[in-house]
Protein backbone atom coordinates (compact mmCIF):
# COMPACT_ATOMS: atom_id res chain seq x y z
CA UNK A 1 0.00 0.00 0.00
CA UNK A 2 1.34 3.44 -0.93
CA UNK A 3 2.60 5.46 2.02
CA UNK A 4 1.79 9.15 2.30
CA UNK A 5 4.77 11.30 3.25
CA UNK A 6 5.35 14.99 3.86
CA UNK A 7 8.62 16.44 2.66
CA UNK A 8 10.31 19.58 3.88
CA UNK A 9 12.57 21.74 1.74
CA UNK A 10 13.91 25.25 1.33
CA UNK A 11 14.23 27.46 -1.74
CA UNK A 12 16.58 30.42 -1.94
CA UNK A 13 15.17 33.16 -4.16
CA UNK A 14 15.76 36.82 -4.93
CA UNK A 15 13.35 38.98 -2.91
CA UNK A 16 11.07 41.14 -5.05
CA UNK A 17 8.26 41.22 -2.47
CA UNK A 18 6.69 44.51 -1.39
CA UNK A 19 8.50 46.52 -4.08
CA UNK A 20 12.00 45.27 -3.18
CA UNK A 21 14.61 45.33 -5.96
CA UNK A 22 15.74 41.68 -5.78
CA UNK A 23 19.21 42.55 -4.53
CA UNK A 24 18.77 40.34 -1.47
CA UNK A 25 18.05 36.65 -1.29
CA UNK A 26 15.66 34.97 1.11
CA UNK A 27 15.41 31.32 2.08
CA UNK A 28 11.80 30.18 2.04
CA UNK A 29 10.86 26.93 3.81
CA UNK A 30 7.98 24.87 2.41
CA UNK A 31 6.39 21.43 2.73
CA UNK A 32 4.92 19.08 0.15
CA UNK A 33 2.89 15.87 0.29
CA UNK A 34 3.64 12.82 -1.83
CA UNK A 35 3.13 9.06 -1.96
CA UNK A 36 5.81 6.38 -1.81
CA UNK A 37 4.85 3.44 -3.99
CA UNK A 38 5.71 0.08 -2.49
CA UNK A 39 4.64 -2.51 -5.05
CA UNK A 40 4.78 -3.06 -8.79
CA UNK A 41 0.97 -3.10 -8.81
CA UNK A 42 0.86 0.41 -7.35
CA UNK A 43 3.41 1.51 -9.93
CA UNK A 44 1.27 0.06 -12.74
CA UNK A 45 -1.78 1.91 -11.34
CA UNK A 46 0.02 5.27 -11.38
CA UNK A 47 1.96 4.97 -14.65
CA UNK A 48 1.25 3.41 -18.02
CA UNK A 49 3.95 1.06 -19.40
CA UNK A 50 4.85 3.63 -22.08
CA UNK A 51 5.34 6.26 -19.33
CA UNK A 52 7.63 3.93 -17.40
CA UNK A 53 9.64 3.16 -20.52
CA UNK A 54 9.99 6.87 -21.30
CA UNK A 55 11.02 7.55 -17.69
CA UNK A 56 13.63 4.78 -17.74
CA UNK A 57 15.05 5.98 -21.06
CA UNK A 58 15.19 9.58 -19.81
CA UNK A 59 17.07 8.41 -16.71
CA UNK A 60 19.55 6.40 -18.79
CA UNK A 61 20.10 9.35 -21.14
CA UNK A 62 20.52 11.78 -18.23
CA UNK A 63 23.06 9.54 -16.51
CA UNK A 64 25.06 9.12 -19.71
CA UNK A 65 24.93 12.87 -20.41
CA UNK A 66 26.07 13.70 -16.89
CA UNK A 67 29.08 11.40 -17.11
CA UNK A 68 30.06 12.67 -20.55
CA UNK A 69 29.67 16.30 -19.43
CA UNK A 70 31.91 15.75 -16.41
CA UNK A 71 34.62 14.25 -18.61
CA UNK A 72 34.30 17.01 -21.23
CA UNK A 73 34.52 19.93 -18.77
CA UNK A 74 37.18 18.40 -16.48
CA UNK A 75 40.12 20.03 -18.34
CA UNK A 76 38.50 23.44 -17.75
CA UNK A 77 37.87 23.00 -14.02
CA UNK A 78 39.55 25.30 -11.54
CA UNK A 79 42.50 23.80 -9.69
CA UNK A 80 41.17 23.27 -6.14
CA UNK A 81 44.56 24.36 -4.76
CA UNK A 82 44.71 27.64 -6.66
CA UNK A 83 44.53 30.86 -4.64
CA UNK A 84 41.19 31.77 -6.25
CA UNK A 85 39.65 28.39 -5.34
CA UNK A 86 40.98 28.57 -1.79
CA UNK A 87 39.59 32.11 -1.43
CA UNK A 88 36.19 30.98 -2.70
CA UNK A 89 36.17 28.03 -0.29
CA UNK A 90 37.15 30.24 2.64
CA UNK A 91 34.35 32.70 1.82
CA UNK A 92 31.82 29.84 1.74
CA UNK A 93 33.09 28.61 5.10
CA UNK A 94 32.97 32.10 6.61
CA UNK A 95 29.36 32.50 5.46
CA UNK A 96 28.40 29.66 7.81
CA UNK A 97 29.21 31.84 10.81
CA UNK A 98 26.20 33.46 12.52
CA UNK A 99 25.42 36.95 11.27
CA UNK A 100 27.95 36.76 8.44
CA UNK A 101 27.03 38.40 5.14
CA UNK A 102 28.67 37.83 1.75
CA UNK A 103 30.29 41.27 1.94
CA UNK A 104 31.66 40.71 5.46
CA UNK A 105 32.92 37.22 4.56
CA UNK A 106 34.66 38.52 1.44
CA UNK A 107 36.31 41.38 3.33
CA UNK A 108 37.35 39.02 6.15
CA UNK A 109 38.92 36.46 3.79
CA UNK A 110 40.61 39.14 1.69
CA UNK A 111 42.16 40.63 4.85
CA UNK A 112 43.44 37.20 5.89
CA UNK A 113 44.92 36.51 2.49
CA UNK A 114 46.57 39.94 2.34
CA UNK A 115 48.45 39.44 5.59
Is 8 inside a domain boundary?
yes
pLDDT in tens, 61-78: 999 999 999 999 998 888
Asked if residue 6 is part of any domain, the answer here is yes
Q: Tell me, yes or no, whether 42 lies in a domain.
A: yes
Contact 35, 1 (CB under 8 A): no
Write down the mean pLDDT value for the chain: 93
Tell which residue, 26, 33, 30, has the closest CA to residue 12: 26
Q: Is the pLDDT score of 55 beyond 90? A: yes
Q: Is the pLDDT of residue 79 over 80?
A: yes
What is d(CA 59, CA 48) in angstroms, rounded to the nearest whole number? 17
- Residues 2, 46: one domain? yes
Q: Are residues 8 and 46 in the same domain?
A: yes
Question: Domain for residue 12, yes or no?
Answer: yes
The pTM (predicted TM-score) of the whole model is 0.49
Which residues, in sequence order, are bridge partners of residue 27?
A: 12
CA dihedral angle for residue 61, residue 63, residue 67, residue 72, rounded to 10 degrees: 40
Q: State the total domains in the chain.
A: 2
> Residue 74's CB: how many other CB atoms inside 10 A?
8
Q: Is the pLDDT of residue 36 over 90?
A: yes
Q: Is residue 104 part of a domain?
A: yes
Say which residues have a Cβ less than 8 Å from residue 70's Cβ, sequence separation at least 6.
Answer: none
Domain boundaries, position 88: 78-115
pLDDT in tens, 94-107: 999 999 999 999 99
29 has a pLDDT exceeding 90: yes
Q: Indicate if 8 and 47 belong to the same structural domain.
A: yes
Would residue 2 count as lying in a domain? yes
3-state SS, one letter per residue, for 56-107: HHHHHHHHHHHHHHHHHHHHHCCCCCCHHHHHHHHHHHHCCCCCCCHHHHHH
Domain assignment of residue 18, yes or no = yes
45 and 1 in a common domain: yes
Residue 14 lies inside a defined structural domain of this protein: yes
Whether 1 shows a pLDDT value over 90: the answer reads no
Amino acid sequence: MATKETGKAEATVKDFSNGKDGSTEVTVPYTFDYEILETAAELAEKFAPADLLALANARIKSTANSGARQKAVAPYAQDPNSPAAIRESMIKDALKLPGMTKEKATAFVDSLMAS
